[in-house]
Structures are given as structure tokens and as C-alpha cells.
Chain A
């Protein structure tokens, strides 16, 4: 034969030969595990990829025959299987110009931007879902088997010739080890598997697309396999919305993974209406230069690039729209930039639409970047400062000297720095609280949509949905009822306290008692109302603490104003323990600020929403109450408010628990019913 043996890229057939009747070989594309793949053109002019099957003939052919009639935009089409007079077997299939996901990942060691990840994953999921729906498991999903067709801008899955029928009775059909270790589910070693192994492989690729490296890696094959079997994936670098999905895909027990690709998609933050909708209309981020509106369900369509309309305006002889001209320049510049970066067009691998790496880092960081503008500014400044510090070309001793100088400067000026920082903090907490109540940021966590094996959280979710579906009058009644309960509890406890301490009922004592009752009621109400907004779902605790802190600061001011109006000179109310103020002047803003800070801190530090959690195990959780009161005693002592702060807070903590809605029993009941139903189903 021609040119055998010499080049590193060893191809049996040279360009121009016709080993397969009707097709002329043009060039070799690559050598895979199962044989050489060539680019060939039929006598009529059809461009195809022709694969010469060399090894594992049986496995390969059995799979390919099953898949000959699969038609899906995200699958590489198989045209035919041909056996030549010389006994060679050829698989003729669709030619996909472009590059594989492996090539793309090699060029992005830090992972890809999220919109690209979305395109890859939804496309792969669509193709795999099609295969599964026809009873076929791919079995060898990996980046080297997924391609981007740069002619039609579509992701295509190849090499599903390895696939086999899922047989209901005989799940452990073929026990030969085929596939790539990084993407192989742990149960493959046992030789018994179903379509869950594809879900696992998608999970691995999902992880790798976001991070740039697979979740389980090692020096040796053995090490990788051991990690698949035993290690938990490190998901700390995965942006929050995808963590759960990936973790679930990577479960060791196939039964714990998603049972279906569409279920997996529904758990992603891409928030489909239904699984079908996603699969039918793979959302199409414009990974090419075009930034215009993407056409969602016609992925093959070329998106007209932004130069077109704008340029038309510019070219007109009439008036040149300056802005349009600038946009046109921009567009041209973008194309140029892309081409400059990626023009080593030849060779496939390099023909990759380049997206600058920083974009990706931003998107990775995105989940931890605060959304509030001031916090974001501080965050970015801090990062800038940190970057500068790391880039500083000084030796360590000099850096230490600099740090010491800074520290001395700060300590020397602590008299004014500390109070101003504190004041700024309080102001910011108040601002943040108000903003949080007015501005609704998008939720950080994707809501659970589907889970076949329900957990406690799922039952809570179900109960919550039922409760949320109630009539508004019922909901209002629930809120009003709990507020009333809270008020009554506070009043009763305050009366109890007064009687226990055996005050003689002078007018001043009554006034203090009334004030305490009002104070604890106000606290309880604040907690009940604010946590009501957050009840039913978990949320970000830092955000909640800040909101509660701001609410507490406001309450502190109200309490201070109330006590100064009610009691002219209530000396017992504050002890000047730390001689913060030179004299205890009741009208002084210094005392007011002490009230604000004390109540604000207690509100911020104690996780009140836990106290009001509708899912708490008992209506009154003893240790939470004890912890809260302990904290209040400490704070009372620290702020010189030990005469009233602990018991006002103690009262409101207990009252909150008594008054807050409690639905643990409903969750328990529902779980029990489900268990019964499942058992009945099993019988």
C-alpha cells in the first residue's frame, strides 16, 4: 500500500486512494481506539468521515448497527456500514469540521465561561437524552467524543457506536472494560450498569468544563479508579448553582444519581419550564462573534453578525451615524481580536473561538461577589489591594516592616479610627437592611424541582408549597395569630418577672414593666415579621444577619426613645462599666448609640430565623433558648445593661418560639404517608 509506516500520524491510505468503492480519501483525520478516521468525498461530492474498523470489531459493529438510524442534531449521523472485497469494514458517517471538547479544554485549563458550559452541557444532554429514549447507553461519553461543528455551530456527540441496548432483564450484558477512566462511573468495574453511567460522565464533564480539570485525577489508572470508587469530588471551585447538580451526578450509588438527563437539566439554574422544552430548544449562547439575539431552537442557523445592520447605515451616502459607526468599529475589532487569537485555523484544535480567560475567572468568582454596589466596590478594592500586595516586588522582611508600621499607625489613632469604623458599620448595616427589604436580588440558590428519593428538605418543600398555596386570608390570619400570641406571651412573662422580683408596684416600676413588655413584644414582632419573609427556605446567613442587625439597631433607637419618655431618670437602666461615657447623661447621644449597638448586635449575632424556623424539631428548642439568653446576659454585662437586657431578650426569645408557626408535625406526617405509599407500591 501507499506510504505505509513512515509518518508519526500513521495512516494506511493516502489522499487520492479509493479503498472503499464510491469514495475518494482526501486526508486522514485521526486515529482512534477503534481505527483510523478519514475525510473522504463520494463520487457525487458528498463529504463524509470514513472510519476503518481495526480492533474490537464485534463490539464496535454491534453498537453501530443499532445506531444507524439515530437522527438528532446533537449526534453525529451514521450513514452506512460497508465491507470491502478485501474484508475491511468501514463505517461511513457525517463529517464534522471543527474541534473536540478535549481540544477546547486543553486551551482553557481554567475552565470555560458559564454560557459556553451551558451550551455544551445542554447540547450533550439533548443528544444523550435522545439515545436513552431509544434504549441506548452511550457508555463512552468523554470530551474527546464531543465535537463542535464549526460549519453549523452545533455540538455533536460521536462514537456512540460503543453503545448498547439497555436490557431490562439483563443489565450486566457486556462486561468488557471500554471507555476512558476519568469519565467512568464506579459501577462499570462491577460490569453491571445502565444509563446512569452516562449521567455520571456528563457530571464529570460538567465539572471539568467549569474547573478545567476532571474531579478525579491521579498519576495512575489505579489511583483514578480508586478515587471514583471512594473519594468525594471537591466542589469548592464550582459556582454555587451547579454544585448540587454535579454532586448528584457524581454519586457513587447509581440509584442516587438523576434517573434521567432531563431531570438533571431541570435542577440546573438554567431554569427550564419542563425537561422537554430544554431538550427541544437547547439555548444557544452566541459563542461565535455575533452578539445579537440568539435563535433558540434553530441551532444550525447562522446568527447574522452585528456588523451587518450597522454597516449598512454607515455605508449610506447620507448622514453617518457616529454611534453606529463606533459600534461597527467595535464589531470589526472584536472579529479581528478573535481571529488574531485563534487563527491557527488549520489543524482543527486551534480553531477555537477564543474567549479571554479573565471573563471566566469573573464568572467563577461571580457567585461570591456581593451584589450590593457598595459591598461590591469594597470587595473589588480589597481584591485589587490583595493583588497589588502579592505582585509587590519586595522581600518578606520589608513587607513585615510595612505591616508593622501600618499597625502602629492604626493603633496610635485608634481613638478616632475605631469609633468611625463602628459608626460606618452601623450606618452600612442600616442601609443594607433597608435596601434588602426594597431591592429584590435574584435568589442565590436554585430551588429543588425534582428529586426521586425525597429527603427531609423535600418534604419541607412540599409542605411549604401547600402552605403557600393557601388563601391569603388564611395566611394573614396565621400572621396575625402569631403576632397576637407573641404579644400575650411577652406581657405575661413580663408580669411574671415583676412579681418574682417582688418590686413594690410604684408608678415607676409599672412604667418599666410596661416598657419591658412593649420592648419584648416589638422584638418578637420584628423577628416574626422579618423571618416570615424568609420562612420555608434556607438562605444566606450573612445576608440575614445584616438585615436582622439593621432591624435591631432601629429597635434599639425606638427603645431608647421610649424609655426616656416613660421614665424621667431610670438610673438602674445602665451601668457605666467601661467608662465609655464620661458622665451618664440620659439625653446624650452616647447612651442612645449604646442602645442601638446593643440591640443591633444581639439581633445580628443570634440567628433568630432559626428560632422562628417552621421546621424546628420542637416548638421550644431548649438549647437555642438557653444559648440566646446566655448571649443576652453576656451582652447585657458588656454594655452595662445587665439589669434589663437579659430578661427582655429572654422573654422575646421564648415568646418568639411560642408564637412562630411550627410545621414539623406536618412534615413528619407527610414523610410517614410517603413511606407507607412506597411500601404499598413495593408490595
Chain B
């Protein structure tokens, strides 16, 4: 009847992908240990493609010694100070790539190494995303304002787990993955559709 753009689920080979949450938003999730920020062009492909006046490969975020650090390939300022090669990031740091692209780095405390990058207008990602997630081991969707992604409809939290290159979902209630209903920790693949009582989520490998 209708063809889906992604018919065969592939394992999580990609380091960044889109997570579409019905009624909530679209999120760019980066699962790699190093994440490139740069211009939204076909080649070179970066993890966080930005429509803004940035270089093709502008900066890289790496995970080292329990922290995110920023490696500047082009001039970057963190909290107004020029980054000399490498700067470790802390919750609330303002990262300025260019006149038009400013991000806020947030790592909600107590939720592990997963961090959020908040794009401050006017820059945007391609495609439009309502948030950028630098995923550590877990990504929490829930009602609580403390969750990484706040879904007011979701009565019980849904946790995505990224472990040694594979992706799982954990919930106290049933979750239907591509039509198969299950409980507890279940593996998911790229292109999967997750449906639970309150919300429906699709994981999509990035197109560009």
C-alpha cells in the first residue's frame, strides 16, 4: 500500500540519527564517542549538520575522562573565551561557533553522561530538530521536567539504552517494537517504530 522509506532495519552503525516522537518533536541523537559539528552539506558528512555560517567541519565533541570536551577545528568561543585547541565543557556552557550559531551545552546532573545541546536561534539543524542529544548510555523520555526529553503524555518513563553499539529500550510497561509487543529490556534497531500506550517513536537513520 504505502512504501516506507526504510524497509529493512539496520543495526546502529550510524553515529547520529533522528528520533521522531509523535506529538512531541524531532530530535537529533548522536551516539558516537566523537561528534562532528559542521555545515549541513552532503560531503563531508558531519554528525550535527547546521544551517549556519560555520565551516564544513567546525568543531568536534569528544568524550574523554568522563567529560565532554570540544576540539576546535575553526575558531570557537566557550563562554566568550577563545578555545585553544581543547576545552572541557560544563553544564550551562555557551558555545559560540560563529555569529549565527550559538549552542548551550547542558548535562542534566544525576542523569549520567548524556548531554543536550540547545541551539540558540537563528541556526538550525537539517532537518529541523527540536533538540540535539549527545547520548551517553541512557536517554530518558518522561513526564518529569528532569527527563532528557519531556513528554507530557508519557505516564511512565521510557529509557533508551545504548550499550556497545547496540540500542535497547527499557520500560516498566509494554512497548511494541515494529508490531511485536514486549516488556523489560528489548533491543531496537535503526528504522524501528516504538509504540507504547502513550506515545509513538520512530528511529530514523539520517538521510544526508
A150 to B120, CA, bound (A): 10
Residues of chain A lying within 8 A (CB to CB) of residue B130: 97, 345-348, 351
Residues of chain B lying within 8 A (CB to CB) of residue A329: 80
Known interface pairs A304-B99, A351-B130. Does A346 touch B199 (Cβ–Cβ under 8 Å)?
no
- Whether A41 pairs with B127 at a CB distance below 8 angstroms is yes
- Whether A328 pairs with B80 at a CB distance below 8 angstroms is yes
- Whether A336 pairs with B104 at a CB distance below 8 angstroms is yes
Contact flags B135-155 to A (C-beta < 8 A → 1, else 0): 000000000010001111100
* B99, B153, B202: the one within 8 Å of A8 (CB): B153
Residues of chain A lying within 8 A (CB to CB) of residue B21: 27, 346
Contact flags B65-81 to A (C-beta < 8 A → 1, else 0): 00000000000010111
B85 within 8 A of A: no
* A95, A332, A344, A351: the one within 8 Å of B128 (CB): A95
Give B1-49 interface residues, CB cut-off 8 Å to A: 1-6, 18, 20-27
- Whether A346 pairs with B96 at a CB distance below 8 angstroms is no
A153 to B122, CA, bound (A): 9
Task: Quote the shortest CB–CB distance from B3 to chain A (angstroms).
Answer: 6
Task: Quote the shortest CB–CB distance from B9 to chain A (angstroms).
Answer: 11
- Whether B204 pairs with A315 at a CB distance below 8 angstroms is no
Task: Quote the shortest CB–CB distance from A480 to chain B (angstroms).
Answer: 62
A116 within 8 A of B: no
Contact flags B56-94 to A (C-beta < 8 A → 1, else 0): 000000000000000000000101111000000000101
* B27, B100, B204: the one within 8 Å of A15 (CB): B204
A310 to B21, CA, bound (A): 39
B161 within 8 A of A: no
- Per DSSP, chain A at the interface is loop
B157 within 8 A of A: no
Interface range, A side: 35 or more
Residues of chain A lying within 8 A (CB to CB) of residue B106: 339, 343
Contact flags A147-169 to B (C-beta < 8 A → 1, else 0): 00011110000000000000000
B166 within 8 A of A: no
Q: Give the total number of A-B pairs whose CB atoms are below 8 A apart.
A: 169
Stretch at the interface among A16-24, A216-224, A555-563, A651-659: A16-24
A583 within 8 A of B: no
A311 within 8 A of B: yes
Give B107-150 interface residues, CB cut-off 8 Å to A: 116, 118, 120-122, 124, 127-128, 130-131, 145, 149-150
- Whether B127 pairs with A6 at a CB distance below 8 angstroms is no
- Whether A346 pairs with B149 at a CB distance below 8 angstroms is yes
Known interface pairs A27-B21, A328-B80, A348-B25. Does A335 touch B104 (Cβ–Cβ under 8 Å)?
yes
- Whether A152 pairs with B122 at a CB distance below 8 angstroms is yes
A30 to B21, CA, bound (A): 11
B195 within 8 A of A: yes
Interface centre among B4, B82, B149 (most CB of A within 10 A): B4
Interface centre among B20, B22, B124, B191 (most CB of A within 10 A): B22
- Whether A9 pairs with B22 at a CB distance below 8 angstroms is yes
Known interface pairs A6-B197, A8-B197, A26-B20. Does A346 touch B80 (Cβ–Cβ under 8 Å)?
no
A340 within 8 A of B: yes
Contact flags A1-41 to B (C-beta < 8 A → 1, else 0): 11100111101011111110000101111100000000101
Determine the residue in chain A with the shortest Cβ distance to B148.
A346
- Whether B153 pairs with A9 at a CB distance below 8 angstroms is yes
* B82, B99, B191: the one within 8 Å of A315 (CB): B82
A575 within 8 A of B: no
A432 to B182, CA, bound (A): 78
Residues of chain A lying within 8 A (CB to CB) of residue B195: 3, 6-7
Known interface pairs A24-B5, A151-B121, A346-B25. Does A7 touch B198 (Cβ–Cβ under 8 Å)?
yes
* A9, A17, A335, A345: the one within 8 Å of B200 (CB): A9
Task: Quote the shortest CB–CB distance from B102 to chain A (angstroms).
Answer: 7
The 9 closest A-B pairs by CB, nearest first: A15-B202, A9-B23, A27-B20, A302-B122, A344-B150, A311-B80, A28-B22, A15-B20, A16-B4
* New contact pairs (19) apart from A336-B92, A346-B150, CB-CB < 8 Å: A6-B200, A14-B193, A17-B4, A27-B25, A151-B121, A310-B80, A311-B96, A314-B80, A315-B80, A315-B82, A332-B80, A339-B118, A345-B25, A347-B150, A347-B151, A347-B152, A348-B24, A349-B152, A350-B150
B interface residue numbers (CB < 8 A to A):
1-6, 18, 20-27, 77, 79-82, 92, 94, 96, 99-100, 102, 104, 106, 116, 118, 120-122, 124, 127-128, 130-131, 145, 149-153, 176, 191, 193, 195-200, 202, 204
